[in-house]
Structure 1
Amino acid sequence: MNFSIKEVAEKFNLSPYTLRYYEREGLIPSVQRNNNGRRVYTDTDLGWLQIVCCMRATGMSISYIKNYVELCINGRETLEEKRKIMLEQKEIIKEEIKKYTELLELVDMKLDYYDEKVSKDELKEMINKKRINKYLT
């Protein structure tokens, strides 16, 4: 099945400009054009775009995604390199989860304070204990 740029943009909640940018950067390889010169996206293109959107959602940079796409195009002989990229991204995501878990604990402590379950001194002690002062500056 074929899709227009407008249909793909709506499906992925992206702007047509972003789709054209991803294509220019080589993140969606070999998007075809019809007789009028308009982009025609296939199910394969949508598969690439799904991978790109997933990686962007994890915070991966365009250059890393481009490298990953190029490795995918080269096939199984690049399996170890692709695996390394995914492992690196996994560690980045784990660090982000840790950071947000700590921030959530801070929010919970503040809520306890506002709900008068803890005193101001207890709150300060809890914050110092958690060593989350780095997020308070």
Structure 2
Amino acid sequence: MTITEVSKKYDITPDTLRYYEKIGLIPRVNRNKSGVRDYTEEDCNWVEFIKCMRSAGLPIEALTDYVTMVQQGDSTIDARRKLLIDQKKILIDKIEEMKQTLSRLDFKIELYDKGLVMNEEEIK
């Protein structure tokens, strides 16, 4: 697949794909005889994985560490597992914080719906 096709498929700009490749987030993509990037199914799997992890808020640094370890082979399996577990804990904390924020928003919206909002200072 070309970079344009991958870009459309995963709703990521070509510039973002190039950047991810440049910093090692996506392993080096092969090029055809004309020098155009030729994404394989494996490359696309990486793009999908990275997009999913970024959407969940994982930092680029953690993901580049993960990709580097994958490329180093089986000797890094325990370290990769630990990295993913650590990131999962961080994500769970963020989700909990977002749930609390959502609850607070629901409360404020309910006050508006009931016409109880008189002064914002009173309901903080």
State the partner residue of 2:105. 107
Q: In the alignment, residue 39 of structure 1 is paired with which amino acid?
A: R
C-alpha separation in 1, matches of 2:60 and 2:113 = 44
Decide whether the 8 Å contact of 1:113 with 1:120 is kept in 2.
Answer: no
C-alpha separation in 2, matches of 1:111 and 1:57 = 27
- Deviation at 1:112? 2.0
Q: Per-residue displacement from partner, 1:39-87 (whole Å, max 9, x unpaired)?
A: 1000010011111112211222222111100111122221111111111
Any gaps of 5 or more consecutive residues in structure 1?
128-132
Matched pairs, number: 122
State the partner residue of 2:49. 51
State the partner residue of 1:27. 25
Q: In the alignment, residue 70 of structure 1 is paired with which amino acid?
A: T
Paired residues for 1:15-94 under 5 Å: 15-94=13-92
Larger CA deviation: 12-21 vs 72-81: 72-81
Aligned CA RMSD, in angstroms, stands at: 2.0
> 1:21/1:116 Cα in 2 relative to 1: closer, same or farther (>3 Å)?
same
Higher radius of gyration, 1 or 2: 1
C-alpha separation in 2, matches of 1:117 and 1:72 = 56
Any gaps of 5 or more consecutive residues in structure 2?
none
Decide whether the 8 Å contact of 1:58 with 1:89 is kept in 2.
Answer: no
C-alpha separation in 1, matches of 2:96 and 2:118 = 26
TM-score by length of 1: 0.80
Q: Per-residue displacement from partner, 1:12-58 (whole Å, max 9, x unpaired)?
A: 10111111111111112131111111110000100111111122112
Question: Among the aligned pairs, what percent are the same residue?
Answer: 37
> 1:119/1:32 Cα in 2 relative to 1: closer, same or farther (>3 Å)?
closer
C-alpha separation in 2, matches of 1:81 and 1:118 = 53
Q: In the alignment, residue 8 of structure 1 is paired with which amino acid?
A: V
